Structure 1
Amino acid sequence: MAIFRARDVSQLSDVELVEQVDKLRMELIQYHGKVSAGGSTENAGRIREIRRTIARMKTEQNRRIHA
């Protein structure tokens, strides 16, 4: 899953935004599952990137609702 920047997020439609958030949340759950099972991720910074991307998308969703 690609990491989206603010410009990329603003270009997504509402439906695409919801789908991408769901996909990223599933990926985050998988990473947390690996870590909690005692394993390590290939890219330790990936969890942080996913969390920040989800936050960008949620911010865009709130902006659209209140605009």
Structure 2
Amino acid sequence: MAILRSKEIWDMEVDEIQDKLVELRAELSKNVSKSAAAGVIENPGKIRELKRTIARVLTILNEKQKEN
């Protein structure tokens, strides 16, 4: 999954953002469990970037919900 930029998230509807959040959390869970089982993953920066993207999505989602 490509990393989402703030502008891309702002252009989405609230329902789309919530769906994307579920996808990102599932991908993070998969990567964390894979790294715990194997010890070494192909791209260790991926977990960090996923966490940052989830935080970005949550921040924008909260701001959008406060607007309404």
Report sequence identity in percent: 37
- Any idea what the Cα deviations from partners look like across 1:9-28, whole Å, max 9, x if unmatched? 10111111011100010000
Secondary structure at 2:12 match in 1: coil
- TM-score using structure 2 length: 0.90
1:34 maps to what in 2?
A: 34
The answer to which structure has the higher helix fraction is 2
* Structure 1 residue ranges (4+ consecutive) displaced by more than 4 angstroms after TM superposition: none
C-alpha distance in 2 between matches for 1:21 and 1:2? 13
1:65 aligns with 2:65: yes
What do you get for the CA RMSD once the two structures are aligned?
1.0
Q: Normalised by the size of structure 1, how large is the TM-score?
A: 0.91
Number of residues paired by the alignment?
67
Between the aligned partners of 2:62 and 2:3, the Cα distance in structure 1 is: 19
1:39 CA drift (Å): 3.4
